[in-house]
Amino acid sequence: MRRRLTVLMDLDAGDVSHRFTVAALDHALVHGGHDIEMCIERTDAICRLGDGVLIGPGSPYRDPVATESVIERARRYGLPLVGT
């Protein structure tokens, strides 16, 4: 069964920490031996949460209230949650 990892990050291709975060996650997903799809969601346009959530670098976020809401939902539903 394919799992979905939501990466909450206001992606900026010019930001070094964003590029390295995406590259590290890509590497882990390719070589980790798990069937996981990574979906990067902007804080001001969150569609849905996956089976786990990674809060990416980039504070202050475009929508800090939505970011806090995602953290709250992940905790409420017992989803794995990691923040950078």
DSSP summary character for residue 6: E
Q: Which of 4, 78, 12 is nearest to 43 (CA)?
A: 12
* CATH dotted code for 3-83: 3.40.50.880
Contact 52, 8 (CB under 8 A): no
* Segments in the chain below pLDDT 70: none
- pLDDT tens figures, 29-46: 999 888 999 999 999 888
pTM of the model: 0.85
